[in-house]
Amino acid sequence: MNETLEQQNPLLRERGHHRFFLGSPNDRNIEINPQNNVSDYQLGGQKEMSGGKSSLYRFHGEQSSQGAMPLLSLPREHRSQDAERRTPDYAENDEMGSTSYKILEPGMLDRPLLPFQEWNIDFSEITVGTRVGIGFFGEVFRGIWNGTDVAVKVFLEQDLTPENMEDFYNEISIHSRLRHPNVILFLGACTKPPRLSMVTEYMEMGSLYYLIHLSGQKKKLSWRRRLKMLHDICRGLMCIHRMKIVHRDLKSANCLLNKHWTVKICDFGLSRITTDTPMKDSSSAGTPEWMAPELIRNEPFTEKCDIFSFGVIIWELCTLSRPWDGIQPERVVYAVANEGSLLDIPEGPLGQLIADCWAEPHQRPSCEDILTRLLDCECALC
């Protein structure tokens, strides 16, 4: 899903990571609206750039002027007005439902919306609780459905334009075909505006990003536990890639933990079905601190862009630090895309694995190769 289940109160006080929508390299407009970003943006004040560079990063060909930075744009004009959106009203309003919105029916698309009609959930069956995430495409609430704790993602765009229908269909179509212990479980969808939403399992411990950077529980992250988390993510990503899917927004904020410390991948709002040749998406997007250079540059991409992002997650669990901490996202975009800048790679076997994940796309390892090397690292701890 397009939101990560975060612990709400700390997120209201801490900085998050921006999700950018990238246009062509020649675009000269920048649209950065953190209020529209979900799991990856925590509400509240932003940290100011520290001025000095952290020793965790290395830059090549340092530029003193931000005027040379590439400028970004949103992929669709209707998204430029997202800042004015309001929280959906969950009170019963039959008049609004009948006059302001159309009902999304399978016939409105050229393919079925849900593979099984049983996955169509009536919103009245859900007891909606507190909001646990907010972002570009929607909001996530904790809820109860059929006596079970669930996460309810309510889409912000309830007017069924062709673009909105495509976004809604794309996420459901991709997420609903994935069944794996390390991928968040899709339970169903509500397909009637103004409550267009998706229902998944609820993950009690929130995101890996929260656990590492905000929870104050770093001392609980032994090396054995960190390797177990990396195994979980790698196995989930292996399933995704075997289903011919590219995630495109893999990051610690999109890796959720349940009460058993099992990690599962979520947020398939930017995912795409792969083809036999590298793909190019004019509306490519992601979170700069985790994005592969080819995605930032809007170049053709394969599933290996997820391997680069996974390398950043390995780096996070090795260093227990935030990637590019104190560096503005715009600066990260320029440094990674145009200067070849990378985070400083730690020593040891995991450091070499990180370096391999950050190689040129065709040189990056597969999930199978990474899993084997992670198992070797675990054996070394015994």
CATH class given for the domain over 207-381: mainly alpha
Cβ 265 vs Cβ 233: under 8 Å: yes
Q: Residue 356: its pLDDT value, please?
A: 97
Q: Residue 113: its pLDDT value, please?
A: 62
Cβ 228 vs Cβ 218: under 8 Å: no
Q: CA 186: distance to chain centroid?
A: 16
Query: Of 2.60.40.10, 1.10.1740.10, 3.40.50.720, 3.30.200.20, which CATH number belongs to 94-201?
Result: 3.30.200.20
Catalytic residue among 40, 167, 232, 249: 249
Q: Does 153 appear as a known binding residue?
A: yes
**DSSP string across 303-350:** THHHHHHHHHHHHHHHH-S-TTTTS-HHHHHHHHHHS--EEPPPSSHH
Per-residue pLDDT of the chain (382 residues; tens, 9 = 90+): 434 434 433 333 333 445 655 543 333 332 333 333 334 323 323 333 333 333 344 444 333 332 222 222 233 333 333 333 333 333 333 333 333 334 444 444 455 566 667 788 999 999 999 999 886 678 899 999 999 999 999 988 777 677 777 878 888 989 999 999 999 999 999 987 788 899 999 999 999 999 999 999 988 999 999 999 999 999 999 999 999 999 999 999 999 999 999 999 999 989 999 888 888 876 657 899 999 999 999 999 999 999 999 999 999 999 999 999 999 999 999 999 999 999 999 988 899 999 999 999 999 999 999 999 999 988 877 6
Q: Tell me the torsion sign for CA atoms 325, 329, 331, 334.
A: positive
Torsion of CA 336, 341, 343, 349, to 10 degrees: 110
Q: Residue 118: its pLDDT value, please?
A: 77
Alpha helices of the chain — where are they, by DSSP H? 8-11, 94-99, 162-176, 208-213, 223-242, 293-296, 304-319, 329-338, 349-357, 367-381
Determine if the peptide bond prior to 194 is cis (ω within 30°): yes
345: which residues sit within 8 A by CB, 6+ positions away? 315, 351, 354, 355, 358
Neighbours of 362 (CB within 10 A): 8
Q: How far is it, in rounded angstroms, from Cα 82 to Cα 38?
A: 13
SS3 134: strand
Q: How far is it, in rounded angstroms, from Cα 378 to Cα 382?
A: 7
Where does residue 53 rank: exposed (0-12), middle (13-18), buried (19+ CB within 10 A)? middle
For the chain, give every domain's residue range. Answer: 94-201, 207-381
Cβ 230 vs Cβ 374: under 8 Å: yes
Q: CA 56: distance to chain centroid?
A: 23
Q: How far is it, in rounded angstroms, from Cα 188 to Cα 186?
A: 6
Residue 249 bears catalytic tag: yes
Q: Residue 40: its pLDDT value, please?
A: 35
Q: Residue 68: its pLDDT value, please?
A: 28
- pTM to 2 decimal places: 0.74
